[in-house]
Amino acid sequence: MKILHTSDWHLGKKLNNWSRLTEQREILDEILEICRQENPEVVLLAGDLYDSWNPPHEAIELLYRTLSRISDGDRRIVLAIAGNHDAPEHVEAPDALARESGIFFLGYPGSRPADMELESGVKVSFPEAGMVLVEGLSSPLRVICTPYASETRMRQYLDLENREEALRTILTERWNTLGDRYFDSEGINILTAHLFMGEPSRLIQEEEPEGEKSILHPGGLEQIYCDALPPGCQYAALGHLHRGFPVSMEPVPAVYSGSPGAYSLSENHRDKAVILADLEPGKKARYSFRKLKSPWPLYRESFTDCDAAVQWLSEHQEGYVELTMKTESYLTGSEKQKILQSHPRILSIIPELNNPLEPGEEKRRSFAGKTVQEIFSDYYRHSKQNSEPAAELLKLLDEIIARGNG
């Protein structure tokens, strides 16, 4: 059985004042094309469908249209779980209609949708909260689904109000219980979750996007150890971290697909991908990253010369740029305008003086030995892109100075 694993679409994301929907459409079109080429039987979307609890209607429409095209009627099963950026009730809202097309949304750890038999003959059932059984594919499929789960939410939706154990203990027990009941060597057994997972011996240090940072753990999640995965599990499809990488290969591959687009300047846009996993009953999954083009990169660039910056910007028009100018003095108004006009999406221009003067020293030095008229002319040229002040304006300035001296 072939499965496509993706996560962290963050539809509706903005960067400063720029909407990312145009590039997100391009990226999702590419994922759709991969589905058509590779023809996976199942697509797993491991959380953070949207970027906020109240996404714009354009983002909602983009999600529904994309998943409908991916499912191709009901030829392909889609399982989508909520992440920490998603409102669970919002994620589950279309489930009654989406199920007709083989798309199933799970917003809460305790979600248990109604069982469904599709026109294709595939049967999808939910015998317990967080457990999905699919019959009628190339092999029977069993999926443990864990949407974003804080300890409070786990207790609330799994009837564990009186439990004092840490989240990792609760999940370990829950996953093992479900695995014991439903996993076997005759079918495909996988787990998908939106959480922070790693090895007990080391804490993963991730440079997180804005909106994911927390005091102790990414997204406020305690790290769940890989040995919590239940016996018989063949693959763990993870969402939450935006870098795609395997956190562990033992006892089975536990892999973050990463986000399909670069949503923070700390992310490397060249490494964005989806995962294609091949599974056979009773065997550990084989998987590979399928790189995406990510056509709208994010750049952090430094220059010492305005003309060099403008040249580079003119050759890299497709992304977003944070620019650092390492110069001997601050940029003039005309230089800033020249830079800003050379690229449509400059996030910021950061000045970095090579030999910064003491506060006020540069100002005093620039005024030394100059008349009021010369200082005014310097200011005018600085603010008016090197245009000289008109003779009438200078004459008016002389009259004002004369009256003040009189």
Helix 57-71 with 21-38: angle, nearest 10 deg: 10
Amino acid at 311: Q
Is the predicted pLDDT of residue 405 greater than 50, yes or no?
yes
2-291 CATH fold = Purple Acid Phosphatase; chain A, domain 2 (3.60.21)
Grade residue 313 by pLDDT with cuts at 50, 70 and 90. Answer: very high
Strands (E) across 9-89 are located at: 14-15, 18-19, 42-46, 77-81
pLDDT attached to residue 370: 75
The residues near 118 (Cβ < 8 Å, ≥ 6 apart) are 74, 100, 102, 124
Strand ranges of the sheet holding 235-239, from the earlier edge strand across to the other edge? 116-117, 123-125, 131-135, 141-146, 188-194, 235-239, 254-256, 245-248
Q: Does 349 or 295 have the greater pLDDT score? A: 349
- Does residue 8 sit in helix, strand or coil? coil
35 vs 252, which has greater pLDDT? Answer: 35
- Listed by start position, the domains of the chain span 2-291, 299-405
- pLDDT winner (highest mean) among 11-20, 158-167, 290-299, 365-374: 11-20
The predicted structure's pLDDT at residue 369:
64
The average pLDDT across 65-78 equals 94
Q: What is the pLDDT of residues 252-308, one digit of tens each?
A: 899 999 999 988 887 767 789 999 999 999 999 999 999 998 668 889 999 998 999
The per-residue pLDDT for range 382-392, each reduced to its tens digit, is 666 567 788 88
CB 351 within 8 A of CB 330: yes
Total number of residues shown for the chain: 406
Could you tell me the pLDDT band of residue 139, with boundaries at 50, 70 and 90? very high
Distance, in Å, from the CA atom of 176 to the CA atom of 179, rounded to the nearest integer, reads 5
At 82-112, the pLDDT tens digits run 999 999 999 998 877 898 899 999 999 888 9
Query: Which of 34-38, 307-311, 371-375 is the least confident region?
Result: 371-375
Q: What is the pTM of this model?
A: 0.81
Q: What CA–CA distance (Å, rounded) separates 229 from 303?
A: 48
Average per-residue pLDDT for the chain: 85
pLDDT confidence band for 216 (50 / 70 / 90) = very low
- pLDDT attached to residue 296: 82
CA–CA dist 337, 146 (Å, integer) = 50
DSSP tag of 242: S
